[in-house]
Amino acid sequence: MQFTAKQIASFINADIEGDENTIVTGFNNIEAAKEGDLSFLSNPKYEDFLYASKASLVIANKSLVLKKKITASLLRVDDAYAAFATLLKIYQDLQTDNLNGIEEYAHVAATAKIGEKVYVGSFAYVSENVTIGKGSKIYPQAFIGANVKIGENAIIYPGAKIYKDCIVGNNTIIHSGAVIGADGFGFAPNPDGTYQKIPQIGNVIIEDNVEIGANTTIDRATLNSTIIRKGVKIDNLVQIAHNVELGENTAIAAQAGISGSTKVGRNVMIAGQAGIVGHINIADGTIITAQSGLSKSTKPKQIFSGSPAIEHHQNNRSIIVYKRLPELEKKIQELERLVKELSKQ
């Protein structure tokens, strides 16, 4: 890549402070940037790196007041982090725009409907009656099951698997190793101690602008649909069980798991390694902190911590008491000793 400060400013609606003809050829973080690099500064704790940085161009907030002279030209914006993210997206799109058409060793069933400017990589498998919308990209070794519908500008990365009958919305990204639509964990115990499998005949519906991380699994519904609403962001190594529904713009971090038939509201945040039981309702705006085990429904905008999870401030108070247990044990032992002595007297 090679762009001038003026060109980049036009992409992110920035004000230029310095030389508009500054040329950049790469990206780097503020600590390690060298001449020719574009970087950004959004967190004040990294400000000192700006004054020593060799970056040629830095995106910074308009509110930043410089304490020293710098060598870099600045692009002033309202939100440096968001502007840098926008710029990276533009750069990524430029790199992948040339991916188009069906590569030689891809399998595309005769009944599949492929939109304009769709890319299907070598050794990808597109099954019968699949529909893929305009501009979507199916990378090598991805599997798309029968009757799957994929919207426009979706990205299915190498090795991702989408089982039959599932629906994927526009602008959705599914990363490598993710499995969409595997059977839910449904088994009925028999009198002899064995288990009878309950067929899982539903599907998974993923709406627009969703991102699903590597090696995440989303199970199909026993009946009806497991639903991932628009704007949901799911990290790597997350398990979403059958008949779960995730509300709009909910975010889930790595290694979290949600059991069957739980309904999660809008703008919920679930941190890493949190576990959630089945058949409960998590209200809009709920926050579940890392390694929490949630076993009951919530009210809007509550914060939960611990296992079993309780409201965050209560959990913090409990932790303080827990840390004092050795000290309290000594005091109890001393009181018991005093009681014995008084009893003797």
- The residues carrying an active-site annotation are 242
Q: What are phi and psi of 310, to 5 degrees?
A: -130, 175
Cα–Cα–Cα angle for 234, 222, 160, rounded to 5 degrees: 40
Closest CA to 71 of 98, 42, 50, 93: 50
Which letter does DSSP use for residue 146 in this model? T
Indicate the SS3 state at residue 332: helix
What are the structure tokens assigned to 226, written together? 């497991």
- Across 174-196, b (16+ Cβ under 10 Å) vs e yields bbbbbbbbeebbbeeeeeeeeee
What are the structure tokens assigned to 340, written together?
A: 């014995």
Handedness of CA 84, 87, 91, 96 (dihedral sign): positive
Cα 334 from Cα 345, distance rounded (Å): 17
